[in-house]
């Protein structure tokens, strides 16, 4: 068999490419593109005549080419057009602004104790504490356990998705596609599908929903971080005689661990905010009680229930922010 050297292979490829360019089909099919690109090149440069002479009498005129950012202009026009089109299908029929009602009856009543329910300010705080320890803790435990489960399962998955660890695209691409699909499905759909398997409303479905959802969030952030890591310790352990798993575990994992914890807390915070929707898909809990209270107009209960949510989410945001900033 004739040995084809790499140089010959490259020459054959170039010869085939030149033959295709000379064929009639290519010449006809590429005529509009050639002219459009020539037009684009012409309008993308603006020649400015500048008079550089000292006496400004037109004796030393030079032409300076200035680039026009055509892409930006087109993007701006497209943005405005889409924005205008977006107003068409919507209807704003029943909009009436009720400022008084909003301020006096909603916002102020959030924090004033009402004479038939929470009798005093101490009663307001007592109700708040009771709801915090029972129903908000329920929500928090569900989210925490779900995030823990999801993150632990995600650990091998995001190593499989990263390009510098898994060079084999046959393993990487399906895992990435599956995870992308997982990330696009909103939480309530996942909650609904999982609650089909177990009975609707049981806590294990909520925990599994949060786990699957956090798998989708964590893998995206983690594999982008892994691709920015240096592969030098990986190579060093490889030269000491390690297989892939040993190289990853000893070389890369110590770098990844701190970032993992920072993203874990970030995911926990996202999950708490997103699991609000779960109560509409059948898991009675904190938000179900909250909606009941709003519907019945018991705004002091509403205010008392909102306070733990506010504090916990703000605390988690603060922690995840400081961690992410320290580690970067």
Partner 1 sequence: MIELKHVDKIYPNGYKALSDINLTVKDGEFVSIIGLSGAGKSTLIRCINRMHDIQAGQILVDGVDISRLHGKALRAERRNIGMIFQSFNLIKRASVYKNVLAGRVGYHNTFETLFGIYSKKERLLALQSLDKFGILDKAYVRADQLSGGQQQRVALARALTQEPKLILADEPVASLDPVTTLSVMNDFTRINKMGITIIANMHHVDLAKKFSTRIIGVRAGQIVFDGKPEDVTDEVTKLIYGRSLNNNEKLGNIDDTPEALSEDIGKAPTLEKAPAKASNKAAPKKALKK
Partner 2 sequence: MSENTATKQPSKWSTFWGKVALPFKKTHVFFFGDTKGLTHYRDPISAYQAKPKMWLVTTILLVIFLGLCFYMGKAINIQDAFSRPIQWTEIGKNFAAFFTIDWNYFWGNLSADQGGYTSGVFYNCIITFCITFIATSIAFFISIPLGLLASHKLFGKKAYFAEIFLILIRTFPELLLALFLTGLTGYTMFTAIFALSLHSVGMVGKLYADQIDEADLDSLEALDACGSNKMQRIKMAVMPQVFPNFLSVGLYRLDINIRTGTMLGLIVQQYGGIGWNFLLDFRSTSFSRLGADTLGIVFMIIVVDLLSSALRKKIV
**What is the binding site for partner 2 (CB under 8 A)?**
79, 82-83, 85-99, 101-102, 105-106, 137-138, 141-142, 144-145, 148, 180-181, 184-186, 188-189, 192-193, 196-199, 202-204, 207, 273-274, 276-277, 280-281, 287, 290-291, 294, 306, 309-310, 313-314, 317
**In whole angstroms, how close is the CB of 76 to partner 2 at the nearest point?**
11
Position 243 contacts partner 1 (CB under 8 A): yes
CA pair distance 323, 268, nearest whole angstrom = 14
- Quick one: which segment of 18-26, 63-71, 207-215, 255-263 binds partner 1 (CB under 8 A)? 255-263
Q: Is residue 255 involved in binding partner 1 (CB under 8 A)? A: yes
Residue 140: C-alpha distances to residues 151, 197, 255, 272, 306 (Å): 16, 23, 29, 7, 14
Instruction: Compare residues 51 and 230 and give the one whose CB is closer to partner 1.
Output: 230
CB atoms within 10 A of CB 164: 13
Alpha helices in the chain (DSSP H): 6-22, 24-29, 31-43, 70-86, 99-100, 109-111, 121-131, 137-161, 169-184, 187-197, 203-227, 232-240, 244-246, 253-274, 286-295, 299-327
Q: Does 245 bind partner 1 (CB under 8 A)?
A: yes
Q: Compute the distance between CA of residue 201 and CA of residue 282 in angstroms, rounded to an integer.
A: 5
Query: Is residue 282 a contact residue for partner 1 (CB under 8 A)?
Result: no
Task: Give the Cβ contact number of residue 208 at 10 Å.
Answer: 22
CB of 62 or CB of 273, closer to partner 2: 273
Binding partner of residue 9 among partner 1, partner 2, none, CB under 5 to 8 Å per kind? partner 1
CA angle 118, 313, 264 (to 5 degrees): 145
| Nearest distance, CB of residue 294 and partner 1, angstroms | 49
Q: For partner 1, which is the closer residue by CB, 203 or 246? A: 246
Q: How far is the CB of 163 from partner 1 (least distance, A)?
A: 18
258 binds partner 1 (CB under 8 A): yes
Q: Tokens for 19?
A: 């033959």
What secondary structure does DSSP assign to 63-112, as a single string? EEEEE--HHHHHHHHHHHHHHHHHTSS---TT----HHIIIIIIIIHHHS
Binding-site member from 28, 95, 239, 310 for partner 1 (CB under 8 A): 239
What six digits make up the tokens of 122?
A: 């101490």
Maximum pairwise Cα distance, the chain: 98
Tell me whether residue 172 or residue 238 sits nearer to partner 1 (CB atom).
238
| Residue 156 interacting with partner 1 (CB under 8 A) | no
Which of 69, 254 has the CB closer to partner 1? 254
Distance from C-alpha of 66 to C-alpha of 46, rounded to nearest angstrom: 5
Under rule CB under 8 A, residue 241 binds partner 1: yes
CB of 146 to partner 1, least distance (A): 26
Residues that bind partner 1 (CB under 8 A): 5-7, 9-10, 232-233, 235-243, 245-246, 249-251, 254-255, 257-258
């Amino acid at each position: 068999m004739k040995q084809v050297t790499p140089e010959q292979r490259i020459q054959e490829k170039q010869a085939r490419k030149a033959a295709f360019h000379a064929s009639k089909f290519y010449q006809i099919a590429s005529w509009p593109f050639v002219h459009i690109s020539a037009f684009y090149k012409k309008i993308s440069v603006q020649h400015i005549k500048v008079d550089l002479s000292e006496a400004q009498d037109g004796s030393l005129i030079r032409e300076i080419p200035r680039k026009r950012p055509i892409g930006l202009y087109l993007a701006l026009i497209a943005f405005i057009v889409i924005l205008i089109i977006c107003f068409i299908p919507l209807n704003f029929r029943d909009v009436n602004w009720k400022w008084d009602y909003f301020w006096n009856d909603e916002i102020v009543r959030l924090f004033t104790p009402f004479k038939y329910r929470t009798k005093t300010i101490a009663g307001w705080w007592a109700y708040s504490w009771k709801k915090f320890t029972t129903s908000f803790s329920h929500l928090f435990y569900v989210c925490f356990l779900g995030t823990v489960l999801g993150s632990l399962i995600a650990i091998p998955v995001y190593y499989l998705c990263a390009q510098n660890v898994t060079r084999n695209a046959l393993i990487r691409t399906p895992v990435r596609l599956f995870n992308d699909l997982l990330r696009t499905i909103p939480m309530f759909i996942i909650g609904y599908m999982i609650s089909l398997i177990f009975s609707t409303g049981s806590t294990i479905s909520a925990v599994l929903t949060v786990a699957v959802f956090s798998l989708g969030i964590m893998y995206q952030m983690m594999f982008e971080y892994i691709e920015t890591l240096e592969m030098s310790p990986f190579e060093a352990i490889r030269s000491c005689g390690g297989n892939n798993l040993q190289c990853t575990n000893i070389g890369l994992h110590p770098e990844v661990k701190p970032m993992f914890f920072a993203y874990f807390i970030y995911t926990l915070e996202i999950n708490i905010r997103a699991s609000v929707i779960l109560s509409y898909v059948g898991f009675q809990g904190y938000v179900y009680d909250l909606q009941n209270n709003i519907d019945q107009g018991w705004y002091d209960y509403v205010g008392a229930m909102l306070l733990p949510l506010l504090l916990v989410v703000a605390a988690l945001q603060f922690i995840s922010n400081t961690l992410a900033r320290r580690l970067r």
